[in-house]
Structures are given as C-alpha cells and as structure tokens.
Chains A and B, each alone.
Chain A
Amino acid sequence: MDFDLSNEQEILQETVDKFIGNVCPITRVRELSERDDPYDEELWDRCVDLGLGGLLVPEEYGGAGLGLLDAALVVESLGRGAVPSPFIEHTVAVLALRLGGSREQKRKWLPGMAQGDVRGCVALGEQENAWFGDRWTTRFDSGAGGREGVRGTKAPVSFGAGSDLVVVGTAGGGLVLVEGADPGLRFERIDGIDRTRRLDRLEIEGASGSVLSARDGIASRVVDAWLVLLAADAFGGAVACLARSVAYAKEREQFGVKIGSFQALKHQLANMALEVEPARTLYWYAAHAFDRELADASCAAAAAKSAICDRYLRIARSAVEVHGGIGYTWECDIQLFLKRALFDGLYLGDSRVHYRRIAESSGW
C-alpha cells in the first residue's frame, strides 16, 4: 500500500500554488469579486497555458491524460486561493466527453478544450434543488414533429455564460452537448452570495444538441466527479481559513499578549485543525475511487462532498470569530471564503441530501 501522493502529484500542486501566487493572489481575487462577473478571460488563458485546460484530456487528443485525483489537487489549490476560475466546470465537461463521447465528438471538442479554444461548462441542476438526473425536466427531442432541439431551464449554472460548449443534463439522466454560440441558449446573470463564481439562469429554447452516449450512469459519474471537486475546493478553503486564523492569533495582541497565548483560542484553533487536516485523505480517497471505478466510488464522492463542505462552513465561521470585529467586515478576506463555503456546501445538493444517499446505498 502507498496511500500518498506521487512525486509528480506533489510537483503539480506546488506548480499550481506558485502560479496562483503570481497570477491571482488574494488582492486580485478581491478585484475580480467586486465586478459583476468574476470570470476573467486572461486568468483562464494563463490557466490553459499552464496545461490546466487539458489536464484530464486523453493524450491522444492533446491533453495530459491525468485522473480526477490530479484535478482535485489543482482544485484544492484554487480553493485555498479562492480563485475565480472555471477550472472545475471545464474539467467536468472534459470528463463528460471522456466518459460518454463518441470518437467523433471527442475529436471535435477535446483538442480545443486542451488548447484553450474551447471552454466547457456543465448545466445540470434545475429549479427547486433538482440537482440529480432523476429530477431533470429539460427535454431533448431528436426531430419528430418539427420540435427538434433541447428545451428547458437550468439554474443556477456556474461559469456558464461565455463558454463554448455546454453539457446539458436531460430528463431521465441523459447528457447532451450544446454549442455555446447556439442561438437557442440564453444566459441571464443571477446575483450569487459567492462573488467569486459567476452564476446564471440558462434558458434553452430549441437549441441543437448532440447526445452523449446514454450508457448507463454516465450522468451520475459526472455528478460524482463534480462532488469530489467541490470537496477538494472546500478542503483548500478550509485550510486557508485555518492558516489565516493561526496567523492572526500570532499577530493580534490584546491584554498585552498575542491572543494565541490564550488557551481558549489555542483550543479553538486546535479543534479547527482537527476538523480540517484528516479530511484531506477523504477527498483523495473519493478521487482515487472514482479513477479506479471502485464499487464505493459514488458513496465516497457523496461522503467527501458532505463531510468536507460541512466542515468548511464550520471552519469559516470559526475563522470569523477568531478575527473578532475585523472578521465581520467585507474588507477581511475571510468573507470570501465564508461565501465560497456556502457555495460548495449548497451547490449540487446540501449535505443532508448526500448523507441520505450514503445511508440509502450503504446496505446497513
């Protein structure tokens, strides 16, 4: 057994950390988050230059051919930096093609996705918390009766507007590809609580679609992968909240000493560390189980998403408390993480939904 990252994986993560430090430090995150649309073309181009666009694209289509675990490591770093990047959405779109695309579909899209000509996004969830395939109502009619095309409403869609390829979930748990430029797509911006993610409501009115293989369970594999990546983001964010809180406790003085000298605060920070650090291996496991198609992959994805996102929310709240009055301000960067924690926790179903899925599939 060697349940540890490989050398290459460690180097990948270091590279991404350094990249974020140079290209999108927290000051830049803040600038982007103050705009109506935090998506930044230039930032995404730089990500693609680094090879992030094609991380999961198979080598034969010009990518690095890596697995979900590698992508999750990148996402952890992005989450630690609160970076407004569409990497998760793009990568899940790549995975959808990889899992369900015909040779032709792959040839058409994957090389561009690796090179940065094509940015992908995924539109699954619908109103009223219909996150999973069994509740999607978006329809795809393949021709009969002159009503050809995709019809429905997806919301909220993250980093959807401006993308070149949209993977759309359809009734019964199917997936269809729609070109971003299709006149049948209308993105309408939604003001989200997390200003580091662009959110839209997507109206699809007769867009032309190209079906991905209906092979059983592709859509739910795609959801699983996304859950794992949200968990990785949450882990990174929780690490950042802990690190910032520890640093603040070593710097802020009250009663003539560093506040970290008070045992109450030490215990608070130790409890935060206790929640954060062991959780890293859970998202590793979930990503690994996905890559190896282990029998409990789906369950592990649900566990990682619910457990780690719940922790992120608690850690972010504690981080505000540790910072005192400053923590309660817009100026303090903790608020960016607190709101990302809300996003990670609620997108693709809150933890209660996933705890239930785990219980239902557990056999106990």
Chain B
Amino acid sequence: MAYERLDEALKTLNRRQLLELDTCARCALCTDLCPVYAESKNPLHAPGVRSSRILSLVNKRLSLWARLLGPRPLPEGELEELVESTYHCTLCGRCMETCPFGLETHELWLNVRSLLNLLNQTPPRIKMLGEMLEENGNPYGLDADMRLDWADYTGLEEAPVKDRAEVAYFVGCTTAFKAVNQEIAYSIASLLNELNVDWTLLGEEEWCCGSPYLLAGDREGAREAAERNVEALKARGVKTVITGCAGCFRVMRWEYPKLLGGPLPFRVIHAVEYFSEHITSGDLKPEPLDARVAYHDPCELGRLGGVIEEPRIILKALTTNPVELPENGLEGRCCGGGGLLQAVDDELRLSIVDARLRQASELGVEILTSACPSCKLTLSDGVRERSYNLEVLDLMELLARQMGL
C-alpha cells in the first residue's frame, strides 16, 4: 500500500465531511432503513459502520495524534473492506434522511468512491463500465449512432433533431438503449408533439449525462460529460431541458452547476414537472383508469432531486384509484436500481426490489408506476424473477396511453 497516495486521497474529503464524520454518534439509526443492509444483514453494508470505518481511516493517517506520533498503518484487508462497503450501496440517500444530525451521507459516499478511484480500488466490473463510457459515451458499450434507434423501434413519426429549439428532450442512455424503457422516450416525444412544442433531440450529440462517472468515482469524467452536453444544448439556444430519467435529472439539475462552477444557461426539469403543469392548466386531459395505480418515488427524483408533488398530480389525473405506497416521498424506499449495485451484486439488487414489490403487492396494486428508467428496469426484473402479478410502467407511458397516443 502506497501510504502517500492514501494520505493524498484522504485529503480530498472536504471540511463539512470531516466535521460530519466527527459528528456521527455511531447510533445506527440509519442502519435499520438502509435497503441494502435490510436484505444483506452484513454489518459492512450498514451506513453507520461505513462512516465509522472512514473516520478510523482518517484518524489513523491525518489526526493530530497521527501528526504527533506518526501515522498508523492499516490492518490487512481494511481498504478492501471499505471497497466492499462503499459499493454495496445504492446511493439512495435514505441514511441521510434518517440521520438525526442530517449528515449528508449521499455526498460522502460519492466522495469516498472518488477517493477509492484515486487509489485504483474501484471494483473491476465498474472499471469496465468506465472504459465503455470512454469509448462510446454510454455505459452499455453500444455505438453512438444507435442512440436514436428507439424512435424506429417504437414507430415514432416525428423525432426532430433541430439546429435551434426552445425545448430539448434529453433522453438518457438507460432510456435510449434499454428495450424495456424505449416506450418512455416514445411517450415523452409524443406528448411534446401533441402539445406542439418547439422541441428537439440531441441525436448522436447526446452523451452520457455523467451520472455513471460520478457513481464510479470519476469526477473528472463527469465534468467532461457535463461540458460536452451543455455545449450541445447551448449551441441550440435551448431554454428548457426536459428529461424523463431521474438520474440524468439529478446530475444535470444539481451536479452540473457544481461540476462546471456556475449556473447553467437553461433550466433543467423532469418530464413529470413539465407535464404536470400542462395537466393542471387543462392542456392535457388524460382519460382516468379505475385500476389501483401506485407511484414509486425514484430516489434521485424525490429525496435527492426535490420533486415529490408533481408525479402525484399526474397520478391523480390517470386513475380514480391512486394508491400511496408505504415509505414514500422524502422517505421513499429504494428499488435497488441505484449506485451501480447491479454490477457488483445482482442477487442483492433483486432481493431489494423484491421487498419493494411485496409492499405494492400487499396493497393490491395493479399498475406500479415510477418516473425513472432505472427503476422501471429494476422493478420489471423483479416482477419477472419473482412472478408478481402487476404491471410496471413509467408514469409518462401511462400518461401517453391515457391520452390515446
């Protein structure tokens, strides 16, 4: 172990994070609600244990005692266990919301991933993802010129890629490349056409939003992705960027200004915000179903993105029988689809989604909606693997469907 590198990496933890690590009472109140710990029961996966480990590491190397008496070496396996802990996390932010001190663990976990990346400790399967991102601009290793194929597959008639437009629809890789999600793109595009909006796609110029870079601890990669997308959007004179992906939304809305060091020249909103306004104003009048429909809050849209009310406005317009799941809104329960957990431990991801699906199924939910392609992917995998009798749809798909599109 090159200790110099370790010390340099530890110095990337910022002021607030060091203060927060010292504030943690190691009370484990965050542990009970962590979706990963709830399924694995492995102490290494408990958020409070992770913060305790990180603090020990900092204190061994950088505390006053370490400076006076010399830094202490790490016991065998300590770093490997921190890697195991850090990547067994969906980055759902539930621990942050549960912590009585409001410790911003979500940012801390992201920062620890960058720190591990600096130490070349990123798990191999996540490293591979980084290589694919480098080559193709998406985490699925597919050619950039396949980015618009969804429009052909779904039979969308008008998929404009213009030089200038008021509104841009940022599709996102998980929507564009994953077959189960391509209907989401079709639905959003059709709704924009229905409203006669002056809108455009970025086509092949759309690049990964940067989220997977951040999740893999590569902040510089995320910054470059942000720069590239912002340039492409700016060149089109876009005023509003709409995305249907909770991950793209969170990163563009909340991380881009930090990565690029200033405000963006356009506003970024999630499709549920855009279309809920049009439902409230009466521009969109969907035909309500009378099925039991529930909405699952994507972590990156609700707790980590700040959008909780709008999807519920849409839901109420889509069914006469809306169902509220337990653990919702700010306290939404993660489906298991975040944090790149799938690449590290897919079995665990499936047991996490199973716990969520059980909650829905116990309430007799017939259609389970969400507003994120990663949630849809995970919820659909869960329904298939464990044979649940419910339909998984994105809220945008159901909206387009009830609009007859």
The finding on whether chains A and B are genuine partners in a shared complex, rather than unrelated, reads no
Name A's B-contacting residues (CB within 8 A): none
- Which residue numbers of B lie inside 8 Å of A, CB to CB? none
